A and B are shown apart, each in its own frame.
Chain A
């Protein structure tokens, strides 16, 4: 009796293991084959020598890392961080109040507003960037409008500037700021705000002392969502910066597709990804602290 039960259990276990493998196996195998192994290959290429006909060769070297410290490349990296930060800051300044405004709309208008926020995001990225070439061109509507209003005599150089790159990136990623901020304001416990008001805080102070800190994790998520794709972007700097504004994404793209210096490209990509991973770590730590405080309170 006891042994048949044990046998039954054994068969159950085997069946469970079979089902487990059938469900989890293919997906996990796929992620490993098409993400993890490729990324590990790139990491290992960073320590190899550039091949004579593209590709890589031995010996193992750290020279590629030394080369990345050249002031030319450091300037590109700094320029990219500056542009991505400026984009994120602007997205925050426009996105936070917009998200806040959406939470104060009547419920059915909230959905409409959110759909309108994401609609442009679902249109082709190149088309959205192209729209800014049309808009900012010396013969384009912005210059024409300013001229007809008599504000300028000659067309302004709007396109192919750093400003154009920032505008293009902001346009591309603003929805990614608004959505998480909206979600965190929406989730906010209103009774905390009432408590603050009852205790005599003005609207402004209850916003500063309650709303702002409690929505900080969501805001940081939004900031990361804007910063990460901005930093690695090579399309917007190329199309709206006209090749004058080089970002780290352009550099990586060129090392892989033009210069065919894969080890150096791998180093640049590694630096970029590690920098971004650091940002995620900071966000996670801050979120844990704030959530912990909320739980105690």
Chain B
């Protein structure tokens, strides 16, 4: 800090800017008053209100169903794709094509999927959100695993083959274990992205099964309540825990 000179100013400004809004929301979640903005004393009553809110609970369940399903599918497809790209083709075009779903504007993907689902006459619901989340999730897994494949030592697989292992044994005993940290990191990434994803879910979900972000959206739109502060504080806690855990995992695997 001391040797930063005048750079200290923008540095501190950034962190104040990033954290003050979050701190305010967390503090306000312990506010006893009905006013979501002004302080009326310490209380945890809004956490009680939140726990009794069935819409929020159902939204959370819907979100978890989508996130778990999308993570499993995206991890399998993305890992296969990354290995295939590294092993069987050096085509930069194919690689770019596979990674496009991760960088394309979410709104474009959302309307495209809405148009396609309605063109084939599919009813919208959690299944359509799940299918939609797999497409960008897969691209993120492929990106993470591809980065790891670049660092892998190919001689391990050659040695396995020389010692008489067939292709399948080599794949499951050598390739998958060495890639495991990257696969886990990719899966965690998809899971978090899917939990928070709003735009694509908003376009591809049916009205009967809103995911949690859609529930939050309607809560925020139709009035600000202290209950949202409590929900926000809990979600902050969850995502902070996941990010710090992921950080720990990657640091451990880097050390190995």
Contact = CB atoms under 8 A, between A and B. Distances in A.
Pair from one complex: yes
Interface of A: 16, 19-20, 22-24, 26-28, 30-31, 34-35, 37-39, 41-42, 45, 55, 94-95, 97-98, 100-102, 104-105, 115-120, 122-135, 137, 139-141, 144, 171, 174-175, 178, 228-229, 232, 234-235, 238-239, 249, 252-253, 256-257, 262, 265-266, 269, 272-273, 276
A130 B25 contact: yes
Given A20-B84, A234-B107, A26 B77 contact: yes
19 contacts: A23-B81, A23-B83, A24-B81, A27-B77, A31-B139, A35-B100, A39-B108, A41-B112, A41-B119, A95-B14, A97-B9, A98-B13, A117-B14, A126-B198, A127-B216, A129-B220, A130-B228, A171-B21, A272-B108
Interface string B222-256: 00100011011001100110111001000000000
A97 B220 contact: no
A119 B240 contact: yes
A257 B18 CA distance: 33
A171 B77 contact: no
B16 to A, nearest CB: 11
A160 B159 CA distance: 65
Interface string B78-104: 101101110111000010011011001
A97 B18 CA distance: 15
A171 B198 CA distance: 17
A97 B4 CA distance: 10
> Which of A24, A232, A234, A238 has the largest count of B CB atoms less than 10 A from its CB?
A24
B24 interface: yes
Interface residues of B, number: 85
Contacts of A257: 203
A35 B109 contact: yes
Interface stretch (B41-49, B129-137, B147-155): B129-137
Q: Which 5 A-B pairs have the closest CB atoms?
A: A23-B84, A38-B112, A27-B81, A131-B21, A24-B84
A239 B220 contact: yes
Contacts of A45: 115
A127 B235 contact: yes
Given A34-B135, A39-B109, 17 more contacts: A23-B84, A23-B88, A24-B80, A28-B98, A34-B113, A45-B115, A101-B7, A115-B244, A117-B14, A120-B18, A123-B22, A130-B25, A134-B25, A134-B37, A137-B37, A235-B199, A249-B107
A251 B109 CA distance: 16
Contact of B108 (A95, A123, A140, A273): A273
A40 B36 CA distance: 45
Contact of B115 (A31, A127, A262): A262
